[in-house]
Amino acid sequence: MSKIHVDFIRGGKVESTHQVKALVTNIDGKILLSTNNDNEFFFPRSSIKIFQAIPFVMSNGIKTYRLNNKHVALACASHKGEKFHIKELKKWISSINLKTKNLQCGIHGPLDKKASEKIIYSRKKFNELHNNCAGKHLAMLTSCLVNNQNINNYLDYNHTHQKNIRKVFNKFTETKLSKKNFSLDGCSAPQYSFKIKSISKALNNLIKSYKDCYDYSEEVKTLINSVLENPEFIGGSASFDTKVMKASKGKIFCKSGAEGVFLFIDIQKEISGVVKITDGNERAIPISIINIFKKLKVMSKIKLKNLEKKEKFELQNHAGRNIGRISIKMK
């Protein structure tokens, strides 16, 4: 396979097209599906939060501050600001005795529309906990507190905690990051560019680690198990990654990232996948993942059919009239 593209069809004609880059391999690196973009660089964005959370778990902050597995899941999350998300984030920041202003992620409203409207209508203000990366930042701050590190510059490239995160990336990708890979993420945390095949390698090593065959095994098991036990905390009630993990019943760990990124590992079948929508349009992700899963028999037909129904690839306007559909071609 060399090409995958997702089309928006209106009136029987293609209105928009989204090119898809994909690489799926087994745990030994054998290619099961590729669009031949393996050596191209991309920014994985929030999809790699689980790797960024490993130093947090290593710090013993979970035990020190009596954090629960929902907090651990939030360390890997891009939460949507729903009530249950904010409730746990408030508990967490209270446990470590910090203020919302200590988080340097910036402020935006909840990505969940109802949650955002509720705050607006009540004339309250958004704060840093509503930022979808709040859990990642609380994890970083928690680790810094336990290790007696400066919390005022915890996002700096040369901060000890960021160096520890790069060590994790280097270990799992089996490459070496340098300043030329460095950029800033939307939440001001360091973000790095990787080759697609390097993230594929990292995901396969993540599976090995979960199965006690690679470094950071205890940390990885803590993180993955916490997410699989609380999939609604990785995204939210309507998030595609949350839906996939719920449907898999603990067999698949996955995480989306901004600009059309989606990573997954099937722990039982020992395969992993990296998907990047070239133009960054995230509407192409669900249909791409579902059809890749179909082709590789990652999930049962019944489960995939249920996912399809929830995603509604037949499109309607605000008047409820059919206006088109999203389709996919895999060559």
- Domain locations in the chain? 4-330
Confidence of residue 184 (pLDDT cuts 50, 70, 90): very high
pLDDT at residue 331, rounded to an integer:
86
What mean pLDDT is predicted for residues 105-111? Answer: 97
Q: Return the pLDDT at 325.
A: 95
pLDDT value for 312: 83
The CATH number of 4-330, from 3.40.50, 1.10.10, 3.40.710, 2.60.40, is: 3.40.710
**pTM, 2 dp:** 0.96
For 146-170, the pLDDT digits (tens) are 999 999 999 999 999 999 999 999 9
- Is it the case that residue 1 has pLDDT exceeding 80? no
**pLDDT, tens digit (0-9, with 9 covering 90-100), for 251-303:** 999 999 999 999 999 999 999 999 999 999 999 999 999 999 999 999 999 99
At position 282, the amino acid (one-letter code) is: E
